[in-house]
Amino acid sequence: MGRFSPRGRTQVRTVCGLLFLLVGAGLLMSCGRGSFIGRQYDDLTAYYNTFHNATQAFEAGLESVNESGGDIDRTRYLSVFPPPQGGAGQSSFEEAIQKSAAVLREHPNSEWVDDALLLIGRSRYYQQNYVGAVQKFREAIALDAEREGEARFRLAQTLVVAGRYREAAEALRMGLDSGEEYGSWTARMRAVQGELFVRQENWEVAEQALAQGLNDNLPDETGARAAFLLGQVRETLDDPEGARTAYRRVSGYDPPYPLAFAAKLAAIELGGETGTPGRALERLAELERDDNTREMRAEIARVRARLHRAQGRPDRARQVLTAVLRGDQAPRGSGKGKTHYELATLYRDAYEDFTRAAAHFDTASATLSSGPDGGTGAEEAAQVLPRAPSDARAQANRFRKLADRSQAVARMDSLLRLGRMAPAEFRAVVEKIRQRRLEEQEARAQRTRRQPQFRGGRRPAAGDASPAPSEQPAVQTQGADAGFLFHRDPTLVQQGRRQFEQTWGDRPLMDDWRRAEAIRGRSDARPRADQTEDQARPQSSAGASTTASVVDVSAVPRDSISRAEMKDQRAVAQYELANALFRAAGRPDSAQTWFRRVLDETPDHPVAPQALYGLAQAHRAQGDTAAGDDAYRRLIDEHPDTPIAKRAREQLGLATTDEDPERTVSRADSAYARAYEAWRSGRHDAALRAFLRVADAYRETSVAPRALLAAGVVYHRTARHDSSGQGRARFTRYADSLAQAEAPDPRPDPTGSSSPDATAPTPPSSDAATPARPASADTTDASAPEGPPRRMIDSTAVANQGASGTPSDSAVASPSVVRDTATGPSGRSEPPDTTTSAVARETARSDSTSAAPQSRREPADPFEILLSHLAARYPETAEAERAQALLDQLRERRTGQGGTTGDSTGAGAPDGPGANRESGTVAPEVDTTKDRPRPPDEEAGPAARRRPAPTTPSQSGRERATPSQRRDSSATPTRSASSLQANASRRPPT
């Protein structure tokens, strides 16, 4: 009964088979790629076969990138997400890209697709293939998968590093404003946004974005870097307390030691600058560790030096910086350049030693990364903090020129001080210098003998007595600090280079150069070709001692004329130094001091108006507008008709149109009257200065010829015999300017065409606001204050006009010379005087000293130059006729004595006060009925003084005027800066 029948068993077997077939078919169908089981299988094989290996390759490459990190540069804004460095882990990243691509190719439906896209994008990012990375990140975002937030962050990060700021801002806006919650990726996007705003120099918004990112959940290293960047942003915003708080926050993220060191150092420095430097110095010692790098030690030294400067201890700051540069752990590369830059600013600001400052700036520019302008490149300019040393090369060039000008002024001051010494004192000083040079030479010789390794000599034996520590050669003791041949001290290096060039000149860097120079015939200027090295090297022998014992005093001005010339050159050098301090160095306070010195010491120098204009600019640059306006008004009052006065009127907003002629003549008469009063009161030098100033300031009025003639009288009677030589030098310089006013090769006046001044100092290139180069001295070589060759004056000879002795046409007296002169120079009747006759007699006396003919012509008498200019410049005035008459008689007398032989020096002619000791020319007596040039009487009214001089010249006076004399000379001559006299000729002194 319990058994199935055969037929029943067959049916059961059939049913079970069909059931097994159905189950098998179901299992087979559930294992497809689109089924649940198929997907699980696909994900499993995709991860372990390809994506796992891709992830391992990427991690290996990322580890190589992280190991390439180094010290933190505090002068540059720190990137929250460091940009990739080329060359690190490239093969690993390429392997990760290939295996991730296999995942996309073989398992397109697995859950690792978005991970593979992100891994490919990140690998291309570290390969600096930003275009490919952006493409993969956008593909990952389009999948709308669970890693969308990370993809948006990676996209924004890549766009910022690639410099595509507009696209980055749009990607961040879409990610942050989408309303989606991306967890920690939102905080990272905030950090990226802050870095983007830093690159765009939008500081306030950058601070807000970074602060919001730090308030969220950021990874440790990312949070530490974001906090450090926030501190730098707050430093830029001048918020030291907020910056200190941000720097202290860095340590809470457990950062790497370089980042923690930089944050602590920045917080200590800010605490010392805004609080107590002493406490900051104590905390600074806690950062010193044995495992600190060279750059870290240099950073500590620089911060310590700044803190010492904040305490008012620049000497201690210099010692700290010098010690770190000369120590065994001296910084290299940019650390060395920053230390030299810090030392240069110390010399510049604390010591005002522009020579050493220029040397250290030059060294810094050679080691700091710089662009063509000596600073950082244009692309990196926005990534450096304001206090970063980014202008080392420009500073080096600027202060090198400033140092040259400063040395030129100091040298002239020393020479003038020597020139004013009494003979005994001067000899004592020269002897002292000679003894010092001999001692220095002997010390050098001893050091050379104690260094046999430099000359192939034997080394001291073990039993030789070594010198005591106090007797060690100076070169050895200094070498311990400055290194071999002082290569660590840029100042000594530059001094050595200059000494080498002074000794050897342009020695070629080639073998057998001595023989080559000898062949060219220049062996006498250098060591002979047959000399050995020991023979060519300077020895402490008698010959060398003789050379050292000779002190060259040729540059010392020992007479009044030379001192006056050097004072003129020094005035120009002082003005150039003041202008460089104001324009190049940006130090208006120091420039103001030097401008005032020019005005106080040489108020009548041609550079005085420009110094007065510079003084006004310096006042305005310091915010003292009232003092600047006063200086402008003083310039307008003292030099009204100069181009620079026109610029001063523009600065004051005054009208620059032509003034009323009547008012101009009235002012000219008043100035003339003041000059006359100075002459009457016995102040002859002031009178001469005032007359020349009137003639220069009011050239187009009838007062100008009167002032010129009066200046000549004052000079002839008093100034030329002044023992100080100042008045004579001033008149000679003015006469030389008149003689060369029509010289060829005129150059445009840059001062007149320059733009209005700027209220803040800026470095000059061809700055229009910079006053033109002074027209008084040749300053092409500021280190040689001797200037152009001095004018040699022979007071014992008379200039020979020529072998023929034939008088020129202009020497013939014209009948118009003896015309009625009852009318004064101002057009009114004046009593006759005998000034002209007195001048002629005084000039004639000076001629009796010598009548021997000369082999060459004597330089023209300044008095004759002025008379010639007066006759040519104002030919239709009574003063011009008087001047021409006197010139004719002077030339006639000189021509008449041209053939005279013999020496009349011992004739015993009286040497009166009016004798001409300069030119030896003879002024014959003229008609005593001639009126002497004199100012209007005090009781004469202004109307009488304003009347113009007669305008109808005599026929002979017109014939004497050459075509070049008749031409219009009313225009102000242009200025040339070629030499001392050529400069002065362009614009007479006032």
The pLDDT of residue 451: 65
The pLDDT of residue 44: 53
Residue 923 lies in a domain: yes
The pLDDT of residue 162: 92
The pLDDT of residue 520: 55
Contact 921, 861 (CB under 8 A): yes
pLDDT digits (tens, 9 = 90+) for 15-46: 777 777 776 655 555 555 555 455 554 555 55
pTM of this prediction exceeds 0.85: no
Mean pLDDT check: name the lowest of 469-483, 589-603, 664-678.
Answer: 469-483
- Residue 978 tokens read as 């070629």
d(CA 817, CA 814): 5
Q: How confident is the model at residue 195 (pLDDT cuts 50, 70, 90)?
A: very high
Residue that wins the pLDDT comparison between 847 and 877:
877
| Average pLDDT score, the chain | 71
pLDDT digits (tens, 9 = 90+) for 57-110: 888 888 877 655 577 889 999 999 988 876 667 888 888 888 888 877 877 777
- CB within 8 A of 693, min separation 6: which ones? 604, 638, 671, 675, 990
Of 240, 263, 246, the closest CA to residue 310 belongs to 240
The pLDDT of residue 510: 61
Q: How confident is the model at residue 547 (pLDDT cuts 50, 70, 90)?
A: low
Torsion of CA 444, 449, 454, 458, to 10 degrees: -170
Q: How far is CA 291 from the centre of its chain?
A: 41
pLDDT digits (tens, 9 = 90+) for 228-276: 999 999 999 999 999 999 999 999 998 999 999 999 999 999 988 887 8
d(CA 663, CA 658): 11
| DSSP at 384 | B
Residue 56 lies in a domain: no
Residue 219 has pLDDT above 80, yes or no: yes
Give just the sign of the alpha carbon dihedral 771, 774, 779, 782: negative
The pLDDT of residue 760: 41
Residue 733 lies in a domain: no
Of 744, 664, 652, 674, the closest CA to residue 702 belongs to 664
Q: How confident is the model at residue 610 (pLDDT cuts 50, 70, 90)?
A: very high
Residue that wins the pLDDT comparison between 136 and 825:
136
Q: How confident is the model at residue 854 (pLDDT cuts 50, 70, 90)?
A: very low
In one-letter notation, the amino acid at residue 921 is T
The percent of residues in the chain predicted with pLDDT above 70, rounded, is 61
The pLDDT of residue 416: 93
The highest-confidence range among 341-355, 646-660, 762-776, by mean pLDDT, is: 341-355
Average pLDDT score over residue span 291-297: 85
Give just the sign of the alpha carbon dihedral 774, 778, 780, 786: negative
Residue 446 lies in a domain: no
Residue 726 lies in a domain: no
The pLDDT of residue 376: 44
Torsion of CA 274, 280, 283, 287, to 10 degrees: 90
Between the alpha carbon of residue 83 and those of residues 58, 158, 159, 197, 493, the distances in Å are 16, 9, 11, 16, 40
The pLDDT of residue 821: 35
Average pLDDT score over residue span 205-212: 94
pLDDT digits (tens, 9 = 90+) for 619-651: 999 999 999 999 999 998 888 878 888 889 888
Between the alpha carbon of residue 806 and those of residues 52, 800, 890, 893, the distances in Å are 116, 11, 14, 12
The pLDDT of residue 515: 61
Average pLDDT score over residue span 831-838: 38
Between the alpha carbon of residue 789 and those of residues 293, 355, 408, 863, the distances in Å are 60, 29, 18, 21
Of 141, 96, 103, 139, the closest CA to residue 119 belongs to 96
The pLDDT of residue 183: 84
The pLDDT of residue 334: 87
d(CA 374, CA 393): 4
Contact 776, 572 (CB under 8 A): yes
Mean pLDDT check: name the lowest of 115-129, 306-320, 380-394.
Answer: 380-394
pLDDT digits (tens, 9 = 90+) for 353-366: 888 998 999 999 88
Contact 719, 728 (CB under 8 A): yes
Between the alpha carbon of residue 833 and those of residues 607, 721, 830, 924, 926, the distances in Å are 38, 23, 9, 17, 12
Residue 476 has pLDDT above 90, yes or no: no
Residue 618 has pLDDT above 60, yes or no: yes
pLDDT digits (tens, 9 = 90+) for 397-437: 888 888 889 889 999 999 999 999 999 999 999 999 999 98
Residue 524 has pLDDT above 50, yes or no: no
Half-sphere exposure of 490 (CA within 13 A, CB side): 23
The highest-confidence range among 200-214, 390-404, 870-884, 963-977, by mean pLDDT, is: 200-214
Residue 41 lies in a domain: no
The pLDDT of residue 269: 92
pLDDT digits (tens, 9 = 90+) for 263-280: 999 999 998 888 788 888
pLDDT digits (tens, 9 = 90+) for 699-737: 778 888 888 888 888 887 776 666 666 777 777 777 777
Which residue segment(s) compose the domain that 834 sits in?
Answer: 809-986
Residue 558 has pLDDT above 60, yes or no: yes
The pLDDT of residue 572: 93
The highest-confidence range among 202-211, 494-503, 543-552, 766-775, by mean pLDDT, is: 202-211
| DSSP at 977 | -
Mean pLDDT check: name the lowest of 291-305, 501-515, 565-579, 670-684.
Answer: 501-515
pLDDT digits (tens, 9 = 90+) for 749-758: 333 333 334 4
Average pLDDT score over residue span 812-834: 36
The total domain count for the chain is: 1
Alpha helices in 127-256 (DSSP H): 130-142, 148-161, 165-176, 184-199, 203-215, 220-236, 240-250
Q: How confident is the model at residue 498 (pLDDT cuts 50, 70, 90)?
A: low
Residue 952 lies in a domain: yes
Residue 962 has pLDDT above 60, yes or no: no
Residue 989 has pLDDT above 80, yes or no: no
Residue 838 lies in a domain: yes
Residue 118 has pLDDT above 80, yes or no: yes
The pLDDT of residue 721: 66
The pLDDT of residue 309: 92
